[in-house]
């Protein structure tokens, strides 16, 4: 099969022929159709992500199951699936025993990712894609969509609350749609005024354009109960904290470019919280896939052939991918 192999950091990835994998007990083999590109892929390229090389990246894969390993009974050949990051815990640690994510979980780094024609996955890491949801639209749900749904659910939104999304790119444009679909008043905060009409069309009730001090701009617009931050700018994350209303929650999903400075006195007086979120409960993935299947969450995609993985990564690194890039397998 053909696979995009990452052999060294800061080097071009290579399209290579490698042996077809065969599924072991509890595993499945997937013919990958689409594979989303995420910020993690850039971090991997820069050596900022602790993965052992060489490796096949791609943690937003969707496709069809072509072979079942021994003992797999729930999935069938032909099932349309995607694969989550944490595929299978060790089953023995305290986290596994209490149903929490396992620190020793099997991931794409163990079995290989979706930037290959065939991909091995643990059956427990596969999620069925609802009928009617295209595989390319489903791909970004497996990291970006899942992350924003977990971020929002972990902030415990209440009816009537306002959610502000800071950083409206790959994750943020899904966050705006998810918050709107859940019936929450939704603000989008962006540094680019030319995104206003698009963000309103995505379902934002209002768009706050602010480059330098998004916290002040949000406060001037009435503040928010929940801020869902997807930016990597530590300065912006520190600023947006000031845009929270009383008992507000700032949920961070971006890898910040430095330490984040929070005004602890303001946090104390207003009972505000700073939290982080990554893909959490599997029900959050199911929920965002359902919203996508109903057309309430529509990822805006740039689709490229697998051969263009290097160009796509460069575009992502340069901030040229407007929302989400997905690699298509022939």
Binding-site ranges for Zn ion (CB under 5 A): 38, 40, 89-90, 93, 96, 102, 143
Smallest distance, Å, CB 306 to Zn ion?
Answer: 18
Instruction: CB nearer to Zn ion: give 93 or 266.
Output: 93
Q: What SS3 class is residue 260?
A: coil
Smallest distance, Å, CB 204 to Zn ion?
Answer: 23
Smallest distance, Å, CB 69 to Zn ion?
Answer: 21
Instruction: CB nearer to Zn ion: give 93 or 255.
Output: 93
Smallest distance, Å, CB 87 to Zn ion?
Answer: 12
Instruction: CB nearer to Zn ion: give 83 or 184.
Output: 83
Instruction: CB nearer to Zn ion: give 51 or 96.
Output: 96
d(CA 243, CA 263): 12
Smallest distance, Å, CB 260 to Zn ion?
Answer: 20
Cβ neighbors of 176 (< 8 A, separation 6 or more) are: 165, 168, 186, 188, 199, 202, 203, 204
Instruction: CB nearer to Zn ion: give 44 or 81.
Output: 44
d(CA 259, CA 255): 10
- Work out the number of other CB atoms within 10 angstroms of the CB of residue 192: 12
Instruction: CB nearer to Zn ion: give 18 or 102.
Output: 102
Smallest distance, Å, CB 85 to Zn ion?
Answer: 7
- Work out the number of other CB atoms within 10 angstroms of the CB of residue 318: 9
Instruction: Return the residue matching tokens 């679909």.
Output: 181
Instruction: CB nearer to Zn ion: give 214 or 279.
Output: 279
Is the distance from CB of 248 to CB of 228 less than 8 angstroms? no
Cβ neighbors of 99 (< 8 A, separation 6 or more) are: none
Q: Vertex 238, ends 180 and 213: CA angle to 5°?
A: 75
d(CA 132, CA 171): 22
**What secondary structure does DSSP assign to 89-144, as a single string?**
--SSSHHHHTTPPPTT-B-HHHH--SSBSEEEEEGGGEEEPPTT--HHHHGGGGTH
Smallest distance, Å, CB 55 to Zn ion?
Answer: 15
Report helix angle 282-293 to 144-154, nearest 10: 110
Smallest distance, Å, CB 67 to Zn ion?
Answer: 26
Instruction: CB nearer to Zn ion: give 93 or 193.
Output: 93
Nearest to 100 by CA among 255, 276, 282: 282
């Amino acid at each position: 099969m053909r696979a995009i192999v990452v052999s060294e950091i800061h080097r071009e990835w290579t399209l290579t022929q490698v042996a077809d994998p065969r599924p072991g007990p509890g595993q499945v083999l997937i013919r990958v159709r689409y594979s989303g590109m995420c910020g993690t892929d850039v971090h991997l390229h820069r050596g900022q992500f602790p993965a052992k090389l060489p490796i096949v990246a791609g943690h937003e894969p969707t496709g069809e199951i072509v072979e079942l390993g021994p003992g797999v009974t729930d999935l069938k050949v032909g099932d349309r699936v995607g694969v989550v990051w944490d595929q299978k815990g060790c089953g023995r640690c305290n986290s596994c025993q209490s149903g929490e994510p396992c620190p020793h979980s099997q991931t794409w780094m163990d079995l290989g990712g979706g930037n290959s024609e065939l991909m091995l996955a643990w059956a427990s890491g596969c999620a069925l894609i609802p009928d009617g949801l295209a595989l390319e639209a489903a791909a970004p749900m497996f990291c970006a969509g899942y992350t924003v749904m977990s971020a929002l659910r972990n902030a415990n939104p209440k009816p009537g609350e306002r959610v502000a999304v800071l950083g409206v790119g790959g994750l943020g444009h899904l966050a705006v749609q998810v918050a709107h679909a859940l019936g929450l008043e939704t603000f989008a905060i962006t540094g680019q005024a030319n995104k206003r009409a698009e963000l309103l069309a995505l379902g934002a009730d209002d768009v706050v354009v602010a480059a330098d001090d998004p916290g002040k701009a949000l406060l001037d617009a009435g503040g928010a109960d929940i801020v869902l931050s997807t930016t990597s700018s530590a300065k912006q994350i520190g600023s947006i904290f000031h845009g929270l209303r009383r008992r507000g929650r700032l949920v961070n999903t971006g890898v910040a470019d430095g330490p984040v400075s929070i005004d602890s006195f303001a946090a104390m007086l207003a009972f505000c919280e700073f939290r982080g979120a990554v893909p959490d409960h599997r029900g959050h993935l199911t929920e965002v896939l359902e919203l996508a299947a109903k057309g309430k969450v529509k990822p805006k995609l740039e689709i490229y052939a697998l051969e263009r993985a290097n160009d796509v990564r460069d575009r992502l690194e340069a901030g040229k991918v407007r929302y989400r890039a997905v690699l298509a397998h022939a």
